[in-house]
Amino acid sequence: MWIVPEREIADLMTRDAAFDAVEKVFAAMASKDAYNFPVVREAIGHEDALYGFKGGFDQAGLTLGLKAGGYWPHNLEKRGEINHQSTVFLFDPDTGKAKAMVGGNLLTALRTAAASSVSIKHLARADAKVIGMIGAGHQATFQLRAALEQRSFEKVIGWNFHPEMLPNIEKVATEAGVPFEAVDLPRMIEANVIISITSAFAPSLLADHVSPGTHVACMGTDTIGKQEVEAALLVKADVFTDEVAQSISIGEAQHAIGQGLISEGDVAQLGAVINGTHPGRSSPEQITLFDGTGVGLQDLAVAAAVVDLAIEKGIAIEVDF
């Protein structure tokens, strides 16, 4: 069995490699070559933590396993550790034997950023110039860094519930040479692409804050009760997701579905757009919305790529298990 510690991931995984792995696995999910297992996510009644498992099997890539982990909201303030903590476990699909254990923290950020980037590549207008960010926490910086590579953005506008955190994303914009402006939510109307990545339980972005032709990537809602955008926005938009079952139960679509505003059939898989079996954006005025709930297969795909690289570079630790 191989171990790839968290500390090694930064030197092994690139944004490009994460993007490729996620785009491929979304396509495999849509063509039914790969499937996710039902998500387990529990409030454990300790440290206000949410803990769970996301797993799956990719028959095409022969990747089997799960990510175990979750969200510990007090980690940063109490211990200087990031709030998300996770580990990926891979198994040999021929024998069921444990194959690898891989640090999942940085991989989660990279694969989540890759997911919204894949959605921007396939759904945003080619002439998108202004990107709006809602959220300025740990994931937001990764999201913005990856998204800026997808279009020739000329400006970043940002809003955050805790305005003192906005310098986190301003720094990313500045490093990429793109001007940044902190704005009120109604000014999101100026954005051609909007990414929301917060841990909110009430909508920030309203349907009236989004102009025609915009692509919105909702990346923060991954649990029952969380919500970042007004349910009415999902009526105005064409809705895409990584995994329909997750979108309607733990993703942003849970609210629009629950209120009877849209139905399951209104939510399409992004992988179908990648495969060419769904047309995706069909007009410049259309609002597209990607409900990125985060699937186990994304984690397995990036972890499998890391294990191969780590073995190749002699970094992976082999243990007799």
Contact footprint for ligand NAD (CB under 6 A): 71, 83-84, 108, 112, 135-140, 160-162, 165, 197-200, 204, 219-220, 222, 292-294
Token pair 């499998």 is found at 304
Q: At what angle do helices 296-312 and 15-30 cross, to 10 degrees?
A: 130
Q: Which is nearer to ligand NAD, 151 or 226 (CB)?
A: 226
Sign, CA torsion 248/251/253/257: positive
Report, in Å, the least distance between residue 67 CB and ligand NAD: 10
Please answer whether residues 63 and 74 qualify as being in contact, where contact means their C-beta atoms are separated by less than 8 angstroms: no
Considering beta carbons, is residue 35 or 161 the nearer one to ligand NAD?
Answer: 161
Query: Residue 218: in which H helix or E strand, if any?
Result: strand 215-218
> What is the rounded CA–CA span in Å between residue 252 and residue 233?
10
Most distant pair of Cα atoms in the chain: their distance:
58
2 versus 86: smaller Cβ distance to ligand NAD: 86
> Which among 197, 5, 250, 37 is positioned nearest to 105, based on CA atoms?
5
Q: How far is the CB of 154 from ligand NAD (least distance, A)?
A: 24
Separation CA 201–CA 184 (nearest Å)? 19
> 97 an active-site residue?
no
Q: At what angle do helices 15-30 and 138-147 cross, to 10 degrees?
A: 90
Instruction: Report the nearest approach of ligand NAD to the CB of residue 292 (Å).
Output: 5
189-205 residues labelled b (16+ CB within 10 A) or e (exposed): ebbbbbbbbbbbeebbb
241/316 with CB nearer ligand NAD: 241
Q: Which one of the listed residues 24, 54, 67, 99 is annotated catalytic?
A: 67
Closest to ligand NAD by CB, 99 or 226: 226
Closest approach, Cβ 321 to ligand NAD, in A, equals 29
To the nearest whole angstrom, how small is the minimum distance from the Cβ of residue 143 to ligand NAD?
Answer: 9
- Which residues does the annotation mark as catalytic? 67
